[in-house]
Homo-oligomer: A and B are copies of this chain.
């Protein structure tokens, strides 16, 4: 990006316009169909300006993420007193959100940017940590209530759930009801303690 020179203000305005247009384009079209042409038109800048600042799609998306233009919603885990129902509800909410046109594509974009860029990875890690914390907290309460085995590896369970869902998105498969139901059954028949049904 431009440093302290006469054009700096104009550059900052252009950068903001590009990042806004990128966010809108990602939301409307998704990562796979992201068009630099359309972003340039929407931002009112030349295509070459975008290519000069961002040689790759992932660098453009990375700047969008780090500048706070792209935020994935964090889904909180409910607590109804029934841990299986609550974790299943969280998985269903995540799956439902991922079926919106842009969400899966946006997740792939964030993953690509995080794999390429350590700063994005650290930022992404914060979001991931919050997501896992909501699952871990609910699982721990389930252990305390005797609904889950005392030796449940709560972090491993949370990571396995998120990993399985992310894997389906990365391999471009839908998070359909069959997968969700089988995942819940797999996880719970594994961790259900003696007070579970």
Q: Chain A residues in contact with chain B, CB under 8 A? A: 31-32, 51, 55-59, 108-109, 111-112, 114-116, 118, 121, 125, 128, 149, 153, 156-157, 159-160, 162-168, 170-172, 178-179, 182-183, 185-191
Q: Which residue of B lies closest to A110 (CB)?
A: B115
Partner of A171, one of B128, B156, B186: B128
A168 touching B164 by the CB < 8 A rule? no
Please judge, given known A-B contacts A109-B115, A112-B112, A112-B116, whether A183 and B170 are in contact too, CB under 8 Å.
no
| Distance (whole angstroms) from the CB of A11 to the closest CB of chain B | 21
B186 touching A157 by the CB < 8 A rule? yes
SS of A interface (majority) = helix
Cβ of A116: which chain B residues have Cβ within 8 Å of it? 31, 56-58, 112
Cβ of A114: which chain B residues have Cβ within 8 Å of it? 170
Cα-based distance from A128 to B167 in the complex (angstroms): 11
What are 8 contact pairs spanning A and B, CB under 8 A?
A58-B58, A58-B112, A109-B115, A112-B112, A156-B186, A159-B164, A160-B186, A167-B167
Cβ of A57: which chain B residues have Cβ within 8 Å of it? 56, 116
Cβ of A111: which chain B residues have Cβ within 8 Å of it? 111-112, 115, 170
